[in-house]
Amino acid sequence: MKFVVSLGSNLGNRHDILQRAIESIRLISTIEAVSSFYETAPVGGPEQPDYINAVLIASANFSPEEFLQKLNEIENEAGRVREVRWGARTLDLDLITADDVEQESEFLTLPHPRAHERAFVLQPWLEIDPAAYIPGKGAVVEFLC
């Protein structure tokens, strides 16, 4: 299954944290592409430092739920604390798409319900996949115009 993952960090050594996360994801999957790092202002939530964001495309033999669990474990290893919704974080790994899967459950909604609204996801994704699309929504390029 092919997964699109958004990475973000706005606490600590943001670049190193993202690099370590990429290496951790590489241990559980085949990474097909990784975007450049982008510095972005936070969206929503309390006042907080700017983020470094990136997007990667990976392939793995996991269900979407299993892959999300692996991503959550990587976040926890990086010291992720979930105290304030949309608050500052050492590492944020969002599963954006899993092949063409469209689902909504208590644990996982695919595609990510706000991905099409977030330039910090769309711009790096388009960098590594100019033909990227969000299942049920449309081409990524359409949302950046």
Active site residues: 80, 89, 92, 94
Q: Do residues 38 and 52 touch, judged by C-beta distance below 8 A?
A: yes
DSSP assignment string, 40-63: E---SSSS-PPEEEEEEEEE-SS-
Name the token pair of 139.
């081409």
Taken as a whole, the chain contains a residue count of 145
Phi-psi region of 125 (alpha: psi -120 to 50; beta: other; left: phi over 0): alpha
Q: Residue 130's CB: how many other CB atoms inside 10 A? A: 10
* Residue 1 CA, distance from chain mean position: 16
Closest alpha carbon to 30 in 8, 65, 7, 5: 5
Find the angle CA(86)-CA(120)-CA(53) to the nearest 5 degrees.
80
